[in-house]
Chain A
Amino acid sequence: MPFIESTAVHGKAYDVIVVGSGAGGGQSAYTLTLEGASVLMLEAGRNYEPARETAMFQTPELAPLREVITPDKPFGFYDATVGGGWQVPGEPYVQTSNDDPGRFDWWRPRMLGGRTNHWGRISLRNGSYDFKPHSRDGLGFDWPISYEDMAPYYDKVEMLIGVYGANDGLENTPGSPPGCLLTPPKPLVSDLLIADRSGKLGIPVIAGHRAVLTQALDWKSLPAKLHPGNATAQQLVARSMQQRAPCLWATPCGRGCSVSANYQSVTVHIPPALASGKLDILTDAMVYEITLDKMGKANGVSFVDKKTGRHRHATARVVVLAASPCESARILLNSKSASFPNGLANSSGKVGRYLMDTVGADLQGQVPLLENLPPHNEDGVSGLHMYTPWWLYKDAAKLGFARGYHIEFGGGRKMPDMGTGAGLEWLTGGSYGRKFKQDVRRYYGSFVHFSGRGEMIPNENSYCDIDPTVKDKWGIPVLRFHWQWSEHETRQAAHMQATFARIIEAMGGRVSGEVQTDGARAIHPGGSIIHEVGGAIMGEEAARSVSNKWCQTWDVSNVFITDGAPFPSNADKNPTLTIMANAWRVCDHILERMRRKEI
């Protein structure tokens, strides 16, 4: 009975409780159950079935308001997110500032699979520099592990979830061993033009890496590499891989995928875990506290059954938090007891601290060379066929900011939407009538856009704590956010803008709107890139971090964290692949310690 009711947990003792079902929770449940541990997964949102629920080929005119974003569906009507969002009714949070530079916007999807349902699927490995940033420039923190510790897990995750990409041998941009990556999709014409003109500026452009099956997974050989010596796990994983179809080269991945061609926790991690018979899943269960036994060890969690409003308790030998960094921090901070008056595992005072997002700035341009191209299908994999990794490592001293960014770009004759034909006055002189129709045909598909995604250095002024007065509708104290960018981030955002303008001009194009030279205005608000990490960082010393290198809290030995909260830095590389690799690494360690009966 994999999906259970809240009453069913009473009296049951699991090996491990996993809080959350996204990249961290999904990977944790997968690793633990396939290696024999019994797991209860608790998810605050509802169950979600992509095969039945995903809107795959629906066109905008079938939706309300032509599918545009609204406060109800912040990424568009057909976006995969079906619960939660920027705001969750009855579950507020507090900002200490409402100005853009001081804001942190918190994205909280509440559904099985969490953020993995709609995410961009961009799957980049952190490089060796990214694990030791403090050693390189004296800022922020080193990870207590190195690239070599993570590499085998990057290999495994890539093989399991299916990531396309290529090995380009660029600095701090790791390749993968043979057999890990799938063939990258063919570039679009805009990609090729950007690559050509960027190349002339000394800016590299290489194949993107995304968790989309450009070909079927090799289910005959991969399972043995993932689970050597474990015939049962191999069988389950082989079967699960066979259930996934290769990409149909249509419809945006952000809607989810009904044929499981891209990675979602619900289509990749959870099915084999469920098939193992070792996983129970309880949805609509919002965990708010880790409970302790008399010895000071965790013995389970308390949660609200959101269907009934009842508070319940579940029991396990080990608790793994993967609720999203801020929610995991909230659970720890709200787990107060005589021995932990300031929250569980918070003797360092570091829970909630060093919250990070990604530096983001965007620019769009119009390129005459791309006008009036012969019609052809440019849907592709719906994102990032190619990208630019950070390329100015040698120039760090003279840039005025310490860390780098990568560039995500795109263009093409994509499905027309409410932006098609809109805001063209700067090109058309305000045409209407037949001339306008000709203009729209001419400019359709001729736009390119650039998104910089860069590293933020953790600082003392960006953190969350518990608001002293506000509670959610269940009576649980809520988070309060404090946020501040440093000049390392704002200058980086200004550099992004200048770089994008150079590339657009090198393409013979024109920038749409202003090139923002003030980085503080170019940068998107904290949290808006949805690369929330930090808040319970791992480190070498108990006084300066929340957990050790196994993401095991220093204070309570059977509490682990496998979402992005333990990240001591937030490289420009999108965090999801690293969350999964790290979760697998941590869960291997948990299994080993459980076998040795140490926890």
Chain B
Amino acid sequence: MDRRTTLKWVLAAAGAMAGPQRLVYGLERADSGAHAHDTSATKGYGIDPDLSRVYKPGELWPLTLTGPQRDTARVLCDLIIPADSSSPSASEVGVVDFIDEWISAPYSQQRQDRGTILKGLAWLDTEAALRYAPSTSFAALTHEQQTAVCDDICLLEKAKPPLAEAANFFARYRDLTAGGFYTTPQGRQDVRYVGNVPMTHFDGPPPEVLKKVGLA
């Protein structure tokens, strides 16, 4: 690997390819115009932000989700990452706030997700009403009912054609929930990441690791 981790590289390449659709580069910041219809923030943190401070959702740009939307978002987060013996649920470590921060951000990827997520959250309520009771919401369903809805949209390839958009939403929401969760101390602990500590020497893989892959 060179200067980038894989993900960063892939995203950077994708970002570069997505690039502005104009031939003159750099006359203005990215993202102008494309989303003129929405009223969310248009200013990012800039090219030279303070790297040493701690940033909290809502500090840099106003958040989006209403109370009912947050309820739906929370329930879905915890259907995807519930608490278990290893770690808490996604919402318990602030993933709903993170998703709100994400969909409220002024950058093109996040604006695209904003549409997907807001539509998807609304779809869950509509679907709950259609399937179970006209006045109910997704959050108000039983766990079994919620799971029944999720089972129909958790894999695009298996989703019925009318549910394809909902399946796309679910996949994106799962990615954001996972990313939000595994980037917290509890998430790192869950996958047993043990780095990011200064050391005086680096020993490489211990013998039991080499043995397990057949290289001992």
A interface residue numbers (CB < 8 A to B):
46, 53-55, 57-78, 82-96, 98, 100, 105-106, 118-122, 185-189, 192-193, 196, 247-254, 362, 364, 369-370, 373-381, 383-384, 408-410, 413-423, 425, 429-434, 436-437, 440-441, 444-445, 447, 449, 451, 453, 470, 524-525, 528, 574
The answer to whether the Cβ of B39 comes within 8 Å of any Cβ in the partner chain is: no
If A188-B205, A430-B154 touch, whether A70 touches B5 (CB-CB below 8 Å) is: no
What's the tally of chain B residues with a CB closer than 8 Å to chain A?
98
Q: B31–A410 contact, CB under 8 A? A: no
The answer to whether the Cβ of B62 comes within 8 Å of any Cβ in the partner chain is: no
If A416-B183, A432-B174, A453-B2 touch, whether A83 touches B48 (CB-CB below 8 Å) is: yes
Within 8 A of A (CB), among B62-103: 79-82, 84, 86-87, 94, 98, 101-102
Residues in A with CB closer than 8 Å to B210 are 189, 192
B interface residue numbers (CB < 8 A to A):
1-13, 15-17, 19-31, 44-49, 51-52, 54-55, 60, 79-82, 84, 86-87, 94, 98, 101-102, 105, 107-110, 147, 150, 154-156, 158, 171, 174-175, 178-185, 187-188, 190-199, 201-206, 208-210, 212-215
Q: A75–B154 contact, CB under 8 A? A: no
If A374-B212, A425-B156, A433-B82 touch, whether A379 touches B101 (CB-CB below 8 Å) is: no
Q: A118, A120, A249, A420 — which one has the most chain B CB atoms within 10 A of its CB?
A: A420
The docked-state distance in angstroms from the alpha carbon of A296 to that of B108 is 50
Residues in A with CB closer than 8 Å to B208 are 374
Residues in B with CB closer than 8 Å to A525 are 16-17
If A252-B5, A422-B179 touch, whether A89 touches B86 (CB-CB below 8 Å) is: no
Q: Of B8, B49, B178, B184, which one neighbours A421 at CB under 8 angstroms?
A: B178
Q: A57, A68, A85, A410 — which one has the most chain B CB atoms within 10 A of its CB?
A: A68
Q: Of A94, A383, A433, which one neighbours B25 at CB under 8 angstroms?
A: A94
The docked-state distance in angstroms from the alpha carbon of A393 to that of B51 is 46
A-B contact pairs, 15 of them (CB 8 A): A61-B184, A69-B11, A73-B45, A82-B47, A93-B26, A118-B3, A252-B5, A369-B214, A376-B194, A408-B1, A420-B182, A430-B154, A430-B155, A437-B84, A441-B86
Q: A92–B198 contact, CB under 8 A? A: no
Q: B190–A437 contact, CB under 8 A? A: yes
If A119-B3, A250-B199, A433-B80 touch, whether A64 touches B25 (CB-CB below 8 Å) is: no
Q: A94–B2 contact, CB under 8 A? A: no
A326 to chain B minimum Cβ distance, whole angstroms, is 12
The docked-state distance in angstroms from the alpha carbon of A90 to that of B47 is 14
If A120-B3, A186-B203, A425-B171 touch, whether A420 touches B27 (CB-CB below 8 Å) is: no
Q: B13, B84, B98 — which one has the most chain A CB atoms within 10 A of its CB?
A: B13
B53 to chain A minimum Cβ distance, whole angstroms, is 8
Q: Of A89, A384, A433, which one neighbours B26 at CB under 8 angstroms?
A: A89
Residues in B with CB closer than 8 Å to A105 are 16, 19
Q: A57–B196 contact, CB under 8 A? A: yes
Look across to chain B and name the residue whose beta carbon is closest to the beta carbon of A436.
B80
B199 to chain A minimum Cβ distance, whole angstroms, is 4
Q: B82–A72 contact, CB under 8 A? A: no
Q: A95–B25 contact, CB under 8 A? A: yes
Q: A417–B154 contact, CB under 8 A? A: no
Q: B1, B52, B101 — which one has the most chain A CB atoms within 10 A of its CB?
A: B1
Residues in A with CB closer than 8 Å to B82 are 433-434, 437
The docked-state distance in angstroms from the alpha carbon of A470 to that of B22 is 13
Residues in A with CB closer than 8 Å to B11 are 68-69
Q: A86–B16 contact, CB under 8 A? A: yes
The docked-state distance in angstroms from the alpha carbon of A364 to that of B6 is 8
The docked-state distance in angstroms from the alpha carbon of A76 to that of B30 is 16
Q: B6–A449 contact, CB under 8 A? A: yes
The docked-state distance in angstroms from the alpha carbon of A408 to that of B5 is 11
Residues in B with CB closer than 8 Å to A433 are 79-82, 147
Q: B52–A55 contact, CB under 8 A? A: yes
Look across to chain A and name the residue whose beta carbon is closest to the beta carbon of B210.
A189
The docked-state distance in angstroms from the alpha carbon of A69 to that of B48 is 14
Q: B6–A410 contact, CB under 8 A? A: yes
Q: B51–A77 contact, CB under 8 A? A: yes
B149 to chain A minimum Cβ distance, whole angstroms, is 11
Q: Of A54, A362, A431, which one neighbours B6 at CB under 8 angstroms?
A: A362
Q: A419–B1 contact, CB under 8 A? A: no
Q: B10, B48, B98, B108 — which one has the most chain A CB atoms within 10 A of its CB?
A: B48
A267 to chain B minimum Cβ distance, whole angstroms, is 17
Q: A377–B195 contact, CB under 8 A? A: yes
Residues in B with CB closer than 8 Å to A436 are 80-81, 174, 178
The docked-state distance in angstroms from the alpha carbon of A134 to that of B180 is 52
Residues in B with CB closer than 8 Å to A380 are 202
Q: Of B7, B28, B155, B197, which one neighbours A377 at CB under 8 angstroms?
A: B197
Q: B7, B47, B102, B188 — which one has the most chain A CB atoms within 10 A of its CB?
A: B47
Residues in B with CB closer than 8 Å to A84 are 47
Q: B19, B45, B60, B183 — which one has the most chain A CB atoms within 10 A of its CB?
A: B183
Q: A186–B101 contact, CB under 8 A? A: no
